[in-house]
């Protein structure tokens, strides 16, 4: 087999593995919670640590790959991801697991940043389009299989095996990369923007940490210090990017409204629908008692709807303006999230079906045109940076979305529990229990109470969970609606300039001269 097809094999295997871990973990969260006695904030870190390191390192990893060699960096990233997976499977507590997930994110960032460049260097003409289509199909399958495969592994073996299965796959990808993939570099590559990297990554980490900590109260000194530090560091990052000769983030791109609209759309979809899936899965397992497999199967309504919408979406972009497609997709998503609201303690999981289908359909309409919008307003030479920035905003949306929604969820849960127990005959003792429930969404603190009291606390916790989920579904719908308006207002057809491509007779989107 020719080296170019080995290159595609290595990239597809590696990217499939890391994208699988984006969704596969969600259905295992209740089992992880039980194994470690984890709090809600612990579970948030299991998801957010991965997204956080992906977001913080992606742009810098791309620069290092151009400088040091893409094959070497892809192999190193795959090895780091595989080692992180092993450590995740061996974790002895929530802190170990979160740190190991961060390690996975480091490797994943390197793999993401180099995958497209490896394929672009290996293929030419029509074959390049075929290679990207194969990668796109693998991406979709990985995201679709994640919840179901995670449920099968977690229910049949253990949550630890969702990480252990990555080890043989990762080793195979490293071997193929080192023995069959041709090395490539950018001869014009310059040193990475280390000042930008440090200020951005520490600022983003402080922001996410502050938002997750806000679940115990926004007025805490720790929260104020963290969020203030995040603001200072992120402003410093923007200043650094303005004065750098070779910045990791070219701020001139933000002069193009369509580019900004694409970033808002990328952030909005991750911060709304995809962040909320974590809490929906917790609802299916913690509150309705479904197994990991059963919960994963029930999320297929959303996945299938996404695929159904994505299939014609590519063709529709040739006749319907991109901004209308993306905006309409967000309207469907917002409507779907609103349909999922209205849950009560007696609701069945079938209440979620119409909303999952509608929201999934909306995400399919957004994702396909958004991919071209991310790079459609820049010169080919800057397509890597533009795509990297868009991918970074997706991960930022996931990390901050889960943090903010988790803080709001916890506050609403605690409010409901405290209110219900304060009005009960057990109010004096129940107040202390309520505080514990608010931090962990469990009733473990009531184990030593009489049976009637335990039932009362469990009922209050269930009602609090439902109220919290209804609350954040509304917030997610608002985020999607705002994204719809922003997409409609900012994404403009005149920001795309079409000119014949040199290769293969295709037409390529490049940046307008005015930008």
Following DSSP, what letter does each residue of 120-165 receive, concatenated?
Answer: HHH--HHHHHHHHHHHHHHHHHHHHHHHHHHHHHHHHT-TTHHHHT
Q: In this predicted structure, which of 193-197, 250-254, 420-424 has the lowest mean pLDDT?
A: 420-424
Residue 387 in tokens:
């795509």
Q: What span, in angstroms and rounded, lies between the C-alpha atoms of 378 and 477?
A: 31
Q: How far is CA 22 from CA 28, 152, 215, 314, 499, in A?
A: 12, 16, 23, 24, 36
- Report pLDDT for 501: 37
| Location of structure tokens 């060699």 | 69
* Strand segments (E) across 252-377: none
Average pLDDT, integer, range 171-195: 78
Q: What span, in angstroms and rounded, lies between the C-alpha atoms of 280 and 299?
A: 9
Query: 15 vs 132, which has greater pLDDT?
Result: 15
On whether the CB atoms of residues 251 and 515 are closer than 8 A, the answer is: no
- Report pLDDT for 426: 53
What proportion of the chain, given as a percentage, has pLDDT over 70? 81
Q: What span, in angstroms and rounded, lies between the C-alpha atoms of 92 and 90?
A: 6
Residue 230 in tokens:
């995040």
Q: What is the pLDDT of residues 7-31, one digit of tens each?
A: 888 888 888 887 777 777 878 888 8
**For residue 424, which phi and psi values (nearest 5 degrees)?**
-100, 165
Q: What span, in angstroms and rounded, lies between the C-alpha atoms of 137 and 273?
A: 21
Q: In this predicted structure, which of 63-77, 213-227, 431-445 has the lowest mean pLDDT?
A: 431-445
Q: What is the pLDDT of residues 40-57, one digit of tens each?
A: 788 888 888 888 888 888
Taking the model in full, what pTM does it have?
A: 0.80
Q: What span, in angstroms and rounded, lies between the C-alpha atoms of 352 and 276?
A: 13
Q: Partners of 509 in the beta sheet?
A: 498
CATH fold for domain 256-515: Growth Hormone; Chain: A; (1.20.1250)
Cα three-residue angle 92-93-99, rounded to 5 degrees? 100
Rounded-to-5 percentages of helix, strand, coil across the chain: 80, 0, 15
- Report pLDDT for 160: 92
Q: In this predicted structure, which of 3-12, 186-195, 298-307 has the lowest mean pLDDT?
A: 186-195
By CB neighbour count within 10 A (0-12 exposed, 13-18 middle, 19+ buried), where does 139 fall?
middle
- Are 1-182 and 256-515 in the same CATH fold? yes
Catalogue the long-range contacts made by 346-353 (C-beta closer than 8 Å, 24 or more residues apart): 347/466, 348/288, 349/284, 349/288, 349/290, 349/298, 352/280, 352/298, 352/301, 353/301
- At residue 509 the predicted structure's pLDDT band, cuts being 50, 70 and 90, is very low
- At residue 444 the predicted structure's pLDDT band, cuts being 50, 70 and 90, is very low
How far is CA 8 from its chain centroid?
A: 24
On whether the CB atoms of residues 74 and 57 are closer than 8 A, the answer is: no
Q: Which CATH code for domain 1-182?
A: 1.20.1250.20
- Report pLDDT for 432: 53
* Mean of per-residue pLDDT scores for the chain: 79
Domain boundaries, the chain: 1-182, 193-247, 256-515
Query: pLDDT at residue 356 above 50?
Result: yes
């Amino acid at each position: 087999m020719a080296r170019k097809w080995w290159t595609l094999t290595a990239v597809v295997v590696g990217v499939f593995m890391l994208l699988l871990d984006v969704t596969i973990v969600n259905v295992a969260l209740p089992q992880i919670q039980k194994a470690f006695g984890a709090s809600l904030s612990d579970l948030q870190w299991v998801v957010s640590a991965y997204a956080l390191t992906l977001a913080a390192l992606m742009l810098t990893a791309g620069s290092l790959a151009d400088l040091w060699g893409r094959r070497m960096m892809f192999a190193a990233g795959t090895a780091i991801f595989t080692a992180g997976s092993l450590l995740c499977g061996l974790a002895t507590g929530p802190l170990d697991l979160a740190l190991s997930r961060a390690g996975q994110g480091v490797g994943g960032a390197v793999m993401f940043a180099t995958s497209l460049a490896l394929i672009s260097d290996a293929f030419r003409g029509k074959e390049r389009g075929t290679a990207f289509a194969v990668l796109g199909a693998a991406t979709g399958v990985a995201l679709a299989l994640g919840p179901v495969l995670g449920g099968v592994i977690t229910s049949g073996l253990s949550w630890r095996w969702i990480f252990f299965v990555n080890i043989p796959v990762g080793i195979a990808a490293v071997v193929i990369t080192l023995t069959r993939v041709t090395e490539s570099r950018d001869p014009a590559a310059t040193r990475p923007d280390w000042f930008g990297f440090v200020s951005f990554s520490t600022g983003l980490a402080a922001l996410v940490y502050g938002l997750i900590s806000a679940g115990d109260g926004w007025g805490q000194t720790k929260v104020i210090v963290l969020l203030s530090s995040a603001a200072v560091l992120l402003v410093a990052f923007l200043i650094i990017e303005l004065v750098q000769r070779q910045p990791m983030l070219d701020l001139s791109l933000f002069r193009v409204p369509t580019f900004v609209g694409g970033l808002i759309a990328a952030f909005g979809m991750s911060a709304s629908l995809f962040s909320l899936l974590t809490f929906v899965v917790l609802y299916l397992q913690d509150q309705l008692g479904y197994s990991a497999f059963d919960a994963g199967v029930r999320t297929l309504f959303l996945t299938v709807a996404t695929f159904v919408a994505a299939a014609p979406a590519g063709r529709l972009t040739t006749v319907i303006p991109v901004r209308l497609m993306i905006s309409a997709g967000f309207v469907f998503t917002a409507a779907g999230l609103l349909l999922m609201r209205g849950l009560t303690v007696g609701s069945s999981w079938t209440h979620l079906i119409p909303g999952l289908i509608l929201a999934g359909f909306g995400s399919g309409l957004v994702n396909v045109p958004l991919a071209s919008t991310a790079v459609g307003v820049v010169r080919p030479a800057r397509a890597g940076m533009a795509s990297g920035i868009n991918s970074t905003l997706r991960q930022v949306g996931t990390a901050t979305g889960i943090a903010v929604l988790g803080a709001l969820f916890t506050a609403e849960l605690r409010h409901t529990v405290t209110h219900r127990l304060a009005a009960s005959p057990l109010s004096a003792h129940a107040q202390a229990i309520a505080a514990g429930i608010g931090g962990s969404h469990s009733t473990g603190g009531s184990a030593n109470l009489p049976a009637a009291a335990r039932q009362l606390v469990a009922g209050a916790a269930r009602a609090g969970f439902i109220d919290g989920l209804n609350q954040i579904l509304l917030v997610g719908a608002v985020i999607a609606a705002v994204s719809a308006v922003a997409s409609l207002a900012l994404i403009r057809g005149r920001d795309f300039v079409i000119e014949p491509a040199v290769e293969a007779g295709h037409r390529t989107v490049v940046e307008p001269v005015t930008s």
